[in-house]
């Protein structure tokens, strides 16, 4: 180790030695959970600036928390979007369906029907209520936990399950990891799996929409953890420089696999506060309050659509389940965190609000739950007709070589023939399903 | 045969333990952190949790949070910070959670770590070892399966290491950490828990049944740049590394072919002497890697072999590789260069 650079390592004079700060989450497994350190402002107390205001008028909201549903299940304050009963019920049903879907797919993975799954439990409002506030042809660039958007836009559950099973009906031809959906028809960009890469792409799509004089805007979602990626900085910079009509969502669900939000800078600043540095509008919203999420997204979408540029929205929420089926959160966080989460459950909160309005009842809710379990079950059965992962009913072998390029080059043609030959050597009686 | 240089310092009688590859890597990190207070370990989820594959389990508890810590999700930051710490005089061992996620850090690796020594005429160096699980066979789809080793072997100034056994993983990682140049240490995640014959429809064998899971206790190093002759033979030379060593070994054993199998262990700098000696002896060469074919490391190997052994070759060099597509999910085993693909190439060489 002779050529390690020389360094004396001696303290200079009487100066105290430096020390490295490594963030530590407030609770670890077994710890009692006390969230009293979180500042939860009263619902309805946050001012709602005009959608055409200067960006700086929103900046106090980056330190606040926009809330609409109060402790008595009423919608209060200037951010109340004043939605009618039918719209509220549709949002509720979509969030509940997303959860019912997640529960069944999670079990399916455990039963060996697929390799992998990711739930969005507790975060349903951040995608579903946002989707209701956007136009259906606004382009979304999601991360891997926004299945609620696809469901809100009416993408068939059976198609989602076909993708999860990588079966012969999978529109993505069995190429992608489960839940990495794509649907151009639903203005839903192909999910990458690499983190935050979709953020600058959303800025670019929005710039293109502006270049062409379109009226559609873009919206994108990342987690607070992946807001640390350089792509986020690139996205904010391009969006602010070109005043791109894009809404950036940071879903702050407190945990990035085992790393708490402090490892993304959450100890010192809110995630919404990044807006200040880039000179764009910023909102920080109670992510478990579907009405607040709807109102914030609606505000940002209207602003973008009227050529007033980008908005960053931090959705303050909690990842109630593990990162994925490959994760075990009991190894790194207190199990009490979920039950103690001070912002409650987005589905329960909206349900109680609807009941308080006289637009819903416990009986209706129970009936909906039963109905949705059956709906998901039926979709699952339908998908299983086309196979589950690893049981032979997949796309034909040559599809593996398609779409690498628009046209199949000679080497891939040769390799496709080789793949089929190898199959016949291994299973002489094998026939390709077409 | 183990050379003197490879032998544990505590000599041949050093007690051994049965370890899987993860445990061997963990042991190497533990030993180096103990020996050198400059060694620091960091990356996404490596601290309290001990890594998503558990490679750093227990290290934070033992060495404290300022030597083993989680980082922001920013691979550019992870590698860039490692370069800075190396400049200070530390010996950073950052982890990139999956090789598929290393690309945001490429500028720091290619333009910075690899060239510090050259551009500063040796004033500054990057004594960093970037560990990263790579390779497929775990239904990881296109973002958890790639084998990007050739991207790094193409960069002047980076060493690229790929172990294939727990024994080698420990000795190579220790040597990599002690090396004063930047090292990419790719860990074949398919064989973390046991060697893999390529027969995905058969139960997984644990490492405990494999002779190379017997890992000497304490410090020992396997020098970088030295290949391992897995098996001596006359019929052909097989050049491979990582998971594919075990797949090739199983195929050749099943076929009863007296092949000489060489585990390269280090791609850069490559042990050309061992490669050349073997091909000159056998006259035939089969190259096996999981990565895509075009511009894969097999192309470099093939060129080296024909440059140096042309007049000894009795047959065209064979390359068995992954296909030139992204790694698919449902058709993973059709993509993987398994026993059938290797078997066909072996047959062609035997007939030649």
Contacts of residue B30, Cβ cutoff 8 Å, sequence gap at least 6: B58, B59, B62
CA A392 and chain centroid, separation? 32
Is A184 among the domain residues? yes
Q: How much is the pLDDT for A392?
A: 75
What percent of chain A is modeled with pLDDT above 90? Answer: 92
What is the structure's pLDDT at B2? 46
Domains of chain B (ranges, CATH numbers): 16-216 (3.40.50.970), 228-351 (3.40.50.920)
In the predicted structure, residue A141 carries a pLDDT above the cut 70: yes
CATH code at position A66:
3.40.50.970
B16: contact with A, CB 8 A cutoff: no
Output the pLDDT for position B127. Answer: 98
Query: Which residue in A has a C-alpha nearest to residue B321's C-alpha?
Result: A415
- Residues A79, A203 within the same domain: yes
Q: Let me know if residue A8 belongs to a domain.
A: no
Q: Would you state the torsion angle of the CA atoms of residues A142, A144, A148, A149, taken in this order, to the nearest 10 degrees?
A: 20
A417 and A349 in a common domain: no
Residue A201: pLDDT band (50, 70, 90) is very high
Q: Which residues of A touch B124 (CB under 8 A)?
A: 5
| Residue A417, both tokens | 């023939």
Q: Which of A332, A338, A398, A423 is catalytic?
A: A332
Which DSSP helix (H) or strand (E) runs through B62? helix B59-63
Contacts of A258 in chain B (CB under 8 A): 45, 48-49, 70
Are A100 and A212 in a shared domain?
Answer: yes
B 193-212 → A contacts, CB under 8 A? none
Look at the block and give the residue holding tokens 């035997």: B350
CB atoms within 10 A of CB A326: 16
CA distance A48 to A111: 48
Residue B8 has pLDDT above 90, yes or no: no
Task: Tokens 């997204």: give the residue.
Answer: A297
The per-residue pLDDT for A429 is 86
CB B212 within 8 A of CB B253: no
Residues of A in contact with B44 (CB under 8 A): 256-257, 259
pLDDT on residue B4: 46
Does any domain span residue A165? yes
- Angle among Cα A220, A153, A208 to the nearest 5 degrees reads 40
| Same structural domain, A418 and A378 | no
B66 touches chain A (CB under 8 A): yes
User: Chain A residues with CB inside 8 Å of B47's CB?
Assistant: 22
Sort B272 into a burial class: Cβ within 10 Å, 0-12 / 13-18 / 19+. middle
Residue A270 CA to residue A249 CA, distance in Å, equals 13
Question: Is residue A389 a part of any domain in this protein?
Answer: no
B73 vs A176, A225, A395: nearest CB: A225
**Within a domain: A220:** yes
Whether B21 contacts B207, CB under 8 Å: yes
Residue A394 confidence (pLDDT) above 90: no
Query: Can you give the residue range of the structural domain that contains A419?
Result: 400-426
pLDDT digits (tens, 9 = 90+) for A175-186: 999 999 999 999
User: Count of domains in chain A?
Assistant: 2
Q: What is the pLDDT of residue A390?
A: 86
pLDDT, one tens digit per residue, over B221-254 is: 999 999 999 999 999 999 999 999 999 999 999 9
Q: What is the pLDDT of residues B178-222, one digit of tens each?
A: 999 999 999 999 999 999 999 998 888 999 999 999 999 999 999
Q: Does A257 contact B69 at a Cβ distance shorter than 8 Å? A: no
The Cα A165–Cα A105 span in angstroms is 10
Task: For residue B74, give the nearest of A180, A230, A415 by CB distance.
Answer: A230
Tell me which chain B residues have a C-beta less than 8 angstroms from the C-beta of A390.
330
Q: Which two tokens stand for residue A160?
A: 């989602």
Binned at pLDDT 50, 70 and 90, residue A13 comes out as confident
How far lies A133's CA from each of A142, A359, B184, in Å?
A: 15, 21, 46
Flag if A264 and B127 touch (Cβ within 8 Å). no
In this predicted structure, what is the pLDDT of residue A306? 98
**CB within 8 Å: B70 and A166:** no
Pairing of strands A255-256, A259-260: antiparallel
Tell me, yes or no, whether A89 and A55 share the same domain: yes
Residue ranges of B 68-107 with Cβ closer than 8 A to chain A = 69-77, 87-89, 91, 100-101, 103-104
Q: How far is A296 from A284, CA to CA, in rounded Å?
A: 8
Set of chain B residues whose Cβ sits within 8 Å of the Cβ of A194: 100-101, 103, 143
Which residues in chain A touch residue B68, judged by CB atoms under 8 angstroms apart? Answer: none
Give ipTM to 2 decimals: 0.89
pLDDT reading at A124 higher than 60: yes
CA distance B275 to chain A (A): 28
**Tens of pLDDT along B318-333?**
999 999 999 999 999 9
Residues A257, B49: C-beta atoms closer than 8 Å = yes
- The overall longest dimension of chain A from CA atoms, in Å, is 82
In a domain, A394, yes or no: no
Interface residue A423 vs chain B (CB under 8 A): yes
Q: pLDDT band for position A159 (50/70/90)?
A: very high
Q: Are residues A240 and A365 in the same domain?
A: yes
pLDDT in tens, B16-32: 999 999 999 999 999 99
- A323 assigned to active site: yes
Dist CA B306 CA B293 (whole Å)? 18
Greatest C-alpha distance within chain B? 59
One domain for residues A116 and A148 = yes
What number is the average pLDDT over the span A56-74? 98
Q: Which of B48, B141, B343 sits opposite A193 (nearest CB)?
A: B141
Angle at which helix B297-309 crosses helix B272-282, to 10 degrees, equals: 60
B269 cis-preceded (ω within 30 degrees of 0): yes
The verdict on A271 and A409 lying in the same domain is no
In A, residues 175-234, which contact B (CB 8 Å cutoff)? Answer: 175-178, 180, 192-195, 225-226, 228-231
* Prediction pTM value: 0.94
Is A418 found in the same domain as A299?
Answer: no
Distance CA B126, CA B91 (A): 8
Report how far apart, in Å, the C-alpha atoms of A300 and of each of A91, A186, A278, A427, B267 are: 19, 20, 16, 57, 52
Write out the two tokens for B190: 């398919």
Q: Are strands B16-18 and A218-223 parallel, antiparallel or unpaired?
A: unpaired
- Residue A179 inside a domain? The answer is yes
- Interchain CB contact of A1 with B (< 8 Å): yes
Same domain, A105 and A202: yes
Closest in B36, B73, B125 to A3, CB measured: B125
pLDDT at B267 over 70: yes
Mean pLDDT across B256-279: 98
Q: Which residues contact A130 (CB under 8 A, 6 or more apart)?
A: A149, A219, A221, A249, A293, A294, A297
Structure confidence at residue A9 as a pLDDT band (50, 70, 90): low
A245-275 pLDDT tens trace: 999 999 999 999 999 999 999 999 999 999 9
CB contact (8 A) between residue B76 and residue A230? yes
Distance CA B340, CA B329 (A): 20
Name the least confident of A95-99, A301-305, A315-319, B6-10. B6-10
- Do A284 and A416 belong together in one domain? no
What is the pLDDT at residue A2? Answer: 45
Q: Residues 280..309 of A with a Cβ closer than 8 Å to B: which? A: none
How far apart (Å, rounded) are the C-alpha atoms in residues B100 and B146? 6
Question: CA-to-CA distance for A337 and A128, rounded, in angstroms?
Answer: 24
pLDDT at A172: 96
Model confidence band, residue A1 (pLDDT cutoffs 50, 70, 90)? very low
d(CA B155, CA A269): 39
Secondary structure E strands in A84-176? 139-141
Residues A236 and A95 placed together within one structural domain of the fold: yes
Strand duo A259-260 + A281-286: pairing:
unpaired
Categorize the per-residue pLDDT at B1 as very low, low, confident or very high, splitting at 50, 70 and 90: very low
The answer as to whether A30 is a domain residue is no
What confidence tier does A161 reach under pLDDT thresholds 50, 70, 90?
A: very high
HSE-up of residue B128 (Cα within 13 Å, Cβ side) = 34
């Amino acid at each position: 180790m002779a050529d390690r650079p020389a360094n004396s390592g001696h303290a200079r004079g009487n100066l105290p030695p430096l020390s490295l700060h490594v963030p530590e989450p407030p609770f670890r497994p077994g710890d009692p959970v006390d969230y009293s350190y979180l500042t939860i402002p009263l619902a309805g107390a946050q001012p709602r600036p005009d959608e055409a205001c200067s960006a700086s008028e929103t900046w106090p909201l980056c330190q606040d928390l926009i809330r609409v549903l109060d402790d008595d299940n009423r919608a209060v304050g200037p951010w109340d979007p004043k939605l009618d009963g039918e719209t509220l019920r549709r949002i509720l049903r979509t969030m509940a369906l997303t959860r019912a879907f997640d529960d069944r797919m999670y079990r399916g993975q455990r039963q060996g029907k697929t390799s992998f799954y990711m739930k969005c439990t507790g975060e349903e409002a951040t995608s579903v209520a946002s989707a209701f506030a956007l136009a259906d042809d606004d382009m979304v660039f999601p991360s891997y936990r926004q299945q609620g958007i696809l469901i809100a836009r009416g993408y068939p559950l059976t198609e989602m399950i076909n993708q999860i099973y990588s079966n012969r009906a999978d529109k993505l031809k069995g190429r992608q990891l489960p839940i990495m959906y794509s649907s151009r028809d639903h203005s839903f960009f192909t999910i990458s799996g690499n983190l935050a890469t979709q953020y600058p792409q959303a800025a670019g799509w929005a710039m293109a929409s502006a270049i062409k004089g379109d009226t559609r805007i873009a919206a994108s979602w990342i987690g607070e953890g992946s807001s640390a990626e350089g792509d986020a900085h690139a996205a904010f910079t391009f969006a602010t420089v070109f005043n791109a009509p894009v809404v950036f969502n940071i879903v702050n669900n407190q945990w990035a696999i085992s790393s708490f939000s402090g490892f993304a800078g959450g100890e010192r600043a809110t995630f919404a506060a990044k807006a200040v540095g880039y000179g764009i509008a910023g909102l920080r919203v109670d992510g478990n309050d579907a009405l607040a999420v709807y109102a914030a997204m609606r505000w940002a979408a209207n602003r973008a659509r009227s050529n007033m540029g980008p908005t960053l929205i931090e959705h303050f929420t909690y990842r109630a389940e593990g990162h994925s089926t490959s994760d075990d959160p009991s190894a790194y966080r207190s199990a009490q965190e979920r039950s103690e989460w001070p912002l409650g459950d987005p589905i329960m909160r909206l349900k109680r609000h609807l009941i308080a309005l006289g637009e819903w009842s416990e009986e209706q809710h129970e009936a909906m739950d039963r109905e949705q379990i059956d709906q998901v079950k039926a979709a699952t059965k339908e998908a299983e007709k086309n196979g589950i992962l690893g049981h032979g009913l997949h796309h034909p072998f040559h599809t593996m070589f398609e779409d690498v390029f628009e046209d199949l080059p000679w080497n891939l043609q040769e390799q496709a023939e080789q793949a089929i030959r190898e199959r016949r050597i291994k299973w002489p009686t094998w026939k390709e399903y077409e | 045969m183990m050379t003197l240089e490879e032998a544990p310092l505590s000599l041949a009688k050093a007690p051994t333990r049965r370890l899987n590859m993860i445990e061997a890597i963990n042991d190497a990190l533990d030993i180096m952190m103990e020996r050198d207070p400059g060694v620091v370990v960091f990356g996404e989820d490596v601290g309290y949790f001990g890594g998503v594959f558990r490679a750093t389990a227990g290290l934070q508890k033992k060495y404290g949070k300022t030597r083993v810590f989680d980082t922001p999700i920013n691979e550019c930051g992870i590698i860039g910070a490692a370069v800075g710490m190396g400049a200070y005089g530390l010996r950073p061992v950052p982890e990139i959670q999956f090789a598929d996620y290393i690309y945001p850090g490429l500028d720091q690796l290619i333009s910075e770590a690899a060239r510090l020594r050259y551009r500063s005429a040796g004033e500054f160096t990057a004594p960093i070892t970037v560990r990263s699980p790579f390779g497929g066979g775990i239904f990881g789809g296109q973002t958890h399966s790639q084998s990007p080793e050739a991207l790094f072997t193409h960069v002047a100034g980076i060493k690229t290491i790929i172990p294939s056994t727990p024994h080698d993983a420990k000795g190579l990682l220790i040597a990599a950490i002690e090396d004063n140049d930047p090292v990419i240490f790719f860990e074949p995640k398919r064989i973390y828990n046991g060697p893999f014959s390529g027969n995905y429809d058969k139960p997984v064998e644990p490492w405990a049944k494999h002779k190379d899971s017997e890992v000497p206790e304490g410090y020992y190093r396997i020098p970088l740049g030295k290949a391992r002759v897995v098996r001596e033979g006359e019929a052909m030379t097989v050049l491979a590394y990582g998971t594919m060593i075990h797949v090739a070994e199983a195929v050749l054993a099943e076929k009863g072919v007296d092949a000489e199998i060489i585990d390269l262990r280090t791609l850069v700098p490559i042990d050309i002497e061992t490669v050349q000696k073997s091909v000159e002896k056998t006259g035939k060469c089969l190259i096996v890697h999981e990565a895509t074919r075009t511009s894969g490391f097999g192309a470099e190997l093939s060129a080296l072999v024909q440059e140096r052994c042309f007049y000894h070759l009795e047959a065209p060099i064979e390359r068995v590789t992954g296909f030139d597509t992204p790694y698919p999910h449902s058709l993973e085993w059709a993509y993987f260069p398994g026993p059938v693909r290797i078997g066909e190439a072996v047959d062609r060489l035997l007939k030649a």
